[in-house]
Chains A and B, each alone.
Chain A
Amino acid sequence: MTDWLGPAEWSAVALSLQVSFWATLVSLPLGIFVAYALARWSFPGKQVLNGLVHLPLILPPVVTGYLLLLTLGTRGPIGSVLADWGIVFAFRWTGAAVAAAVMAFPLMVRAIRLSIEAVDPKLEQASATLGASPVWVFLTVTLPMALPGIVAGAILAFAKAMGEFGATITFVSNIPGETRTIPSAIYAFLQVPGGEASAMKLVIVSVVVAMGALLLSELIGRRVTARVGGR
């Protein structure tokens, strides 16, 4: 694989996998929490939260990226505070992960929320009458029952993160080896004469990774559904 892919292409592939992995992993707990809150709780500002979560889906990605730069950039209100603690996102791969996570978040929350809403509250009641506190009800009933949706949401988010371009390039630019993920690399190769071959290799990698993710989610989904379905 490293022979077929040149160092520049390989670096983009490895970086994309790294960015997507961390984007998915770190946003998953928050995604489950937000999905649960939207599915089960009623609280003031619920519609505002719902809107905020879905905003990146509707806004032009460039706008999302620019907003991230404004807030998380080294001079932004949050970015400057984090910079004092030594945490910098702008123009770093971690920033690419943040951009990918934000862009993938609506898809993740949607899938998880639907699966949590599908968990019968009567089972949660039964769990409570058997002595389970709300946290235990969530851990032993809601979470395992919603697992198919959580897996689907995570894989969907991973695939979305692999393909993120607009917000990433706006927020963290296109720095080889730091923020040049597969889409950015394809874009860069297409800007120079003779880059088509490299671009095509990355296109093939993209297709393979996307198909792999779909198959994996299908496989895991089927196994988990069979388990949760009680057979």
Chain B
Amino acid sequence: MLEVSVRHRFEGFALDAAFKAPPGVTVLFGRSGSGKTTIINTVAGLLMPDSGRIASGDWCLLDTESGIRLKPHRRRLGYIFQEGRLFPHLTVRQNLAYGAWFAPKDAPRASTAGVVDLLGIGHLLDRRPGALSGGEKQRVAIGRALLSAPRLILADEPLAALDEARKAEILPYFERLRDEVSVPILYVSHSPSEVARLATTVVALDAGRVVAQGPAAEVLGNPGILPAGAREAGAVLTARVARHHADGLTELDAGGLPLFLPKVPQPEGGRLRVRIAAHDVILSRARPEGLSALNILPGVVHEVRPGEGPGAIVALDTCAGRVLARITRRSANVLGLVPGAEVHAIVKTVSVAPLDVGGGGRTKR
């Protein structure tokens, strides 16, 4: 397990963060300026912090106390940058081979054919990066990092520069990376849907400090920690695809409760993660009748956390898992929402964004 503990002081910004990254995807989650990229750059060795220790077992990248400061090229990492950073003077094939050439000859390495296949970039091999689309570039960048036989993969907002359609194209590749490649991944993001879909572990950051860390469902379902702000709050449910219906809906089984979504590509029986945005959830004390919304999840209020404005976040426990709802404080008072109160969460099927639904990966381990 990778253990990171770094302290660094810039003008007007102090970073003091410590966290553990178990196998799987660990997402550093927070607003811009919270120190995510600074942390990942200290792990990569592109920034030497004032003090700290970065190690995994007896593999030590940095230990200022004993004077260990490995140079970036000795760290054996695969860094996927936001802008891809492919070498423009090399072909895709040469870009992919670049990292492998420097890796130790006895390092366990992925096969080029396997990676090319996984990322669907076989038809691009003889092109140069200038002739690729943004999404293609990013896929090649992922492949290049994978093929350098890394002991850890770093990804710094690899989707931030892409439009929604390209994000939807790349996200599944990261899911496959998480589920099929055993290399741990440290992933920086400020996007709730990326966190919800990819994270095994979430490390929430605010102003250079770790405010929470733990399994994704736990951290995202905690109304006390909203790294991206109340507006972006949302909990993650894990579910199984029960049936694809003829009218274009997919029925999920979420802890025994039916959940209807617009058709998803995963096969019946496949596991899914669904992010339910808090502002898309309506609460009702009585079970509503004659309502157009298809998803009604009965639950019990766990906590009501008033915000600074007129809003409040209500956390409720359902059979499907923790659900967050963002409502007004007035409604919370009128409905008498206190911990223990029984309530129904109503989620419109069409309000679940396609980017918020992803395959595989358990949120708890």
Residues of chain A touching chain B, judged by Cβ–Cβ distance below 8 Å, are 120, 122-123, 125-134, 136-137, 140-141, 144-145, 227-231
Contacts and interface: CB of A to CB of B under 8 A. Distances in A.
Interface stretch (B126-134, B274-282, B343-351): B126-134
A175 B285 CA distance: 107
B81 A126 contact: yes
A227 B77 CA distance: 28
Instruction: State the main secondary structure of chain A at its contact with B.
Output: helix
A120 B86 CA distance: 11
B88 A122 contact: no
B46 interface: yes
Interface stretch (B31-39, B68-76, B301-309): B68-76
Given A129-B73, A130-B144, A130-B148, A136 B102 contact: yes
A71 to B, nearest CB: 40
Interface of B: 44-46, 71-79, 81, 83, 85-89, 98-99, 102-103, 128-131, 144-145, 148, 154
Most buried by A among B77, B102, B129: B102
B128 A128 contact: no
Contact of B89 (A129, A132, A230): A230
Nearest to B41: A125
Nearest to A129: B79
Contacts of B131: 230-231
Contact of A131 (B73, B85, B88, B89): B73
15 contacts: A122-B85, A123-B85, A125-B72, A127-B98, A129-B78, A130-B98, A130-B148, A131-B102, A131-B103, A132-B73, A134-B73, A136-B102, A137-B73, A229-B130, A231-B128
Contacts of A145: 88-89
A122 B81 CA distance: 9
Nearest to B83: A122
Given A122-B81, A128-B73, A130-B148, A228 B44 contact: no
